[in-house]
Structure formats: C-alpha cells, structure tokens
C-alpha cells in the first residue's frame, strides 16, 4: 500500500487533535501517517502539511525562531497545505486587524482575511454547515468557530489558480454575525465563506479537529493530497 506522510505544524495550538484525527482515517489504497513538525528536517519528510488553529502571531514567531519560515514558504509552492483558523491566516496573502507591528505571513492563497473578524459578540460559536463535497453530504458538519478569522476578499491576480468555495455559513446565522449586512443572504459575500480551495491548498476558518467528525480531514487527503501524489508517481 502506498504511504502518505502528513505533517502537522506543532509549534503551538491544536496540533495533537489534528494528528489523532488524521491517524484514524482510512483512505482506500493508502496508508496515512501523521507526524508533528517542529523543524525544517521534519518538514522535508512530509507530502502535505496541516497548519493548526492557535495564535497566528505566536505560530509565525516560533516558525521564525525554528528556521521554518522560508522552508514553509517553499513547501507551499510545491505541496498541499491546509490552514485551519490561525493556520488560515498564515496562508493568506494579506491580513487585517493584526497586532501592532504587523504580522508575518506565509502566503500561498490569494485572499485577504481579518483576524478575530466576528468581534467580541461572537468570539465563539457553532454553525451547522451544508458541505456538498464531503462524504455523506446530507449530514451537516458542525463548524466550531473560535475567535475565527473572516474572509474579506477572494480576489486573485492574473495567473493565480481559481478559487473554489467549499463551505458557506448558513443565511440563518448571519444576522447575529453581520448586523450591518443588508445583503447577508448574498452568496457572493466573502464573509459567508468559511472553507475554500485554491490550487494545491485548502483553508477552513473553523476547527474540524475539535469535533469527532473526520470528514474534512478525509476531504483534504482525498481531494488535495492523493491526486498530487498520484500525479508525481
Ligand atoms: N482559534 C484560532 O485559531 C484563533 C485565531 C486567532 N484569533 C489568531 O489570530 O491567530
């Protein structure tokens, strides 16, 4: 059986939860191993990487101190990466609402995002997401949002790969979250978008690793990692 090694950036945040979810996946024809990554050598052994939720400024700082910033940027040019919550901020091109002094990003996805974008009235919430791309799509996915970032724009420059929207917040939850939005049922409003794919990469602004539902992990491996490895073989 062919082997896939998925790294989880393990500098800070919810990396252990991602690791245990990935380890219990069963992907026909593939043996998935999930390893923690704390230095460039460990990163080099991975076919794909998950950047967990946590605190994006702390993760960026620790990545710099571990000599991982440039290796991570190089990795993003060649291999699939999934950013969840703080990880989603790190793979964005531009961030707003950052700490004084700015914030180092890895880039890789041509979007702009706002940290803690739902404000204090909605620091944490759960939303039932309808996600057609998942297995058993008739079953909604419980999205756990914790001081989550909000997508502000999905505008790509010429030459960037197209962006696919994988999940949106349901219109019913929007009046609480976006009080100023007169067009909150607008499918095009980027603030509703909570999961996207672009090129090799995947992004979720919520925490699939904090539920016992492993369908987003299965999706990442099946849709982003396996096709990439099969193409290289
Ligand atoms: N749950 C999370 O990952 C929160 C992200 C955090 N607010 C940040 O800016 O990095």
Interface confidence (ipTM) of the complex: 0.96
Q: How far apart are CA 23 and CA 51, in angstroms?
A: 16
- Of 14, 56, 98, 124, the one to substitute when testing ligand 1's pocket (max ligand atoms within 8 A of C-beta) is 56
Prediction pTM value: 0.95
The distance of Cα 104 from the centroid of its chain, to the nearest Å, equals 17
**Measured CA distances, 191 to 79, 150, 177, 180, 211 (Å):** 27, 6, 10, 12, 23
User: What residues are designated binding site for L-glutamine?
Assistant: 54-56, 115, 146-147
CATH 3.40.50.880 fits 2-231, yes or no: yes
Which residue has its alpha carbon closest to ligand 1 atom 6? 55
pLDDT at 61: 95
Which residue has its alpha carbon closest to ligand 1 atom 3? 53
Query: In the chain, at which residue ranges do the beta strands (DSSP E only) sit?
Result: 2-9, 30-37, 48-51, 81-84, 92-96, 109-114, 124-129, 141-146, 150-153, 163-168, 193-198, 201-204
Share of the chain residues as helix, strand and coil, in percent rounded to the nearest 5: 30, 30, 40
Per-residue pLDDT of the chain (233 residues; tens, 9 = 90+): 899 999 999 999 999 999 999 999 999 999 999 999 999 999 999 999 999 999 999 999 999 999 999 999 999 999 999 999 999 999 999 998 877 777 899 999 999 999 998 877 678 999 999 999 999 999 999 999 999 999 999 988 888 999 999 999 998 887 777 766 555 566 778 999 999 999 999 999 999 999 999 999 999 999 999 999 988 77
- Do the Cβ atoms of 85 and 205 come closer than 8 Å? yes
Which residue has its alpha carbon closest to ligand 1 atom 5? 86
Atom of ligand 1 nearest to the CA of 84: 3
Residue length of the chain: 233
User: What residues are designated binding site?
Assistant: 54-56, 115, 146-147
- Domain residue extents for the chain: 2-231
Atom of ligand 1 nearest to the CA of 57: 10
């Amino acid at each position: 059986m062919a082997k896939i090694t998925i790294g989880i950036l393990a500098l800070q945040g919810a990396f252990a939860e991602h690791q245990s979810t990935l380890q219990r996946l069963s992907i026909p024809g593939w043996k998935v191993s999930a390893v923690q990554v704390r230095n460039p050598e460990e990163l080099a052994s991975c076919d794909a990487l998950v950047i967990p939720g946590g605190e994006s400024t702390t993760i960026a700082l620790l990545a710099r101190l571990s000599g991982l910033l440039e290796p991570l940027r190089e990795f993003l040019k060649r291999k699939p990466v999934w950013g969840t919550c703080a990880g989603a901020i790190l793979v964005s091109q531009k961030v707003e609402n950052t700490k004084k002094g700015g914030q180092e990003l890895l880039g890789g996805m041509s979007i702009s995002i706002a940290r803690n974008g739902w404000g204090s009235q909605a620091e944490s919430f759960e939303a039932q997401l309808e996600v057609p791309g998942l297995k058993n799509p008739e079953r909604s996915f419980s999205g756990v949002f914790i001081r989550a970032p909000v997508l502000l724009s999905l505008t790509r420059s010429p030459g960037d790969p197209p962006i696919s929207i994988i999940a949106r917040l349901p219109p019913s939850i929007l009046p609480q979250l976006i009080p100023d939005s007169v067009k909150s049922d607008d499918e095009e409003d980027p603030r509703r978008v909570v999961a996207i794919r672009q090129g090799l990469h995947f992004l979720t602004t919520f925490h699939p690793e904090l539920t016992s539902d492993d369908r987003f992990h299965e999706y990442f491996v099946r849709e982003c990692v396996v096709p990439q490895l099969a193409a290289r073989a």
